[in-house]
Homo-oligomer: A and B are copies of this chain.
């Protein structure tokens, strides 16, 4: 059994690699819900959806979010009224949010809803929300850059502000009183390998570790936990991980990633571009494996998955 701590795009690609090299039904993803957002009354779980759509082969590889062949009729209509359209919701994608929102309103838990969505796409891996409670990743913007409001929700930072503003702190509102989602602790405790996906350590993996009980469960499996660095040659492939790490006092390098993960993972997989830093990673107390981590094709993703799972043996 393989359990993957997952954010969005990077995690989804690694998961797509993993299900090529182990039986998909033996794979569980524990997915970040800290960047879930209610827009226009709909409950949107961007990371869960990115993982779902990617595993279904229905993702849009050009954007890194949403569905291939998506249409945008509803957004066009919303725009006609001057509604807020900065968070793009495709028509097919909307069906997912309608299903989730209606069921939440009817008292169904997010884990069961997520299973329903996953089943709708015929997925074999198990997708688990990190929690069924409301945890909201909140970003405090450095002086004035928020245009009045100091603290904004993750999607406002990430999408509306295009993560082009400096951040002075991050918190996970509600995390302290949240419970791990159904099946999460068992999936970690019972896994042969726990993988920390190459997701943003601050705002994708950070929320998972902030849910009481999850970090402890992983720490107890530290010898079977392998992290994949999302930082390659000092930069994130996509998104603001490198800037966020710097802004929050971390080194934006595989060594900085090692310092964040060394308590929960015994091994860090880094890209060949960072081969010269393998020794520095080991100095932080982690084994280090060097390989190609840029998942530019399903073949590379499968090869990376093989290396990651092998690194735990």
Contact = CB atoms under 8 A, between A and B. Distances in A.
Interface in A66-83: 71, 73-83
Query: What are the 3 closest A-B residue pairs judged by CB atoms, nearest first?
Result: A77-B95, A41-B101, A73-B91
Given A80-B120, A117-B81, A120-B82, A73 B98 contact: no
Q: How often does this chain occur in the complex, in copies?
A: 2
Interface of A: 38-43, 71, 73-84, 89-96, 98-99, 101-105, 116-117, 119-121
Contact of A120 (B81, B94, B98): B81
Given A40-B101, A77-B91, 12 more contacts: A39-B102, A40-B42, A40-B99, A40-B102, A41-B42, A42-B98, A71-B91, A75-B95, A76-B95, A83-B103, A91-B94, A94-B94
Given A42-B42, A71-B71, A116-B82, A76 B92 contact: yes
A74 B89 CA distance: 10
Contact of A98 (B43, B74, B90, B117): B74
Contacts of A92: 73-74, 76-77
Contacts of A77: 91-96, 98-99
A83 B98 contact: yes
Contacts of A98: 40-42, 74, 77-78, 83, 89
A95 B120 contact: no
Nearest to A43: B41
Nearest to A95: B77
Nearest to A73: B91
Nearest to A94: B74
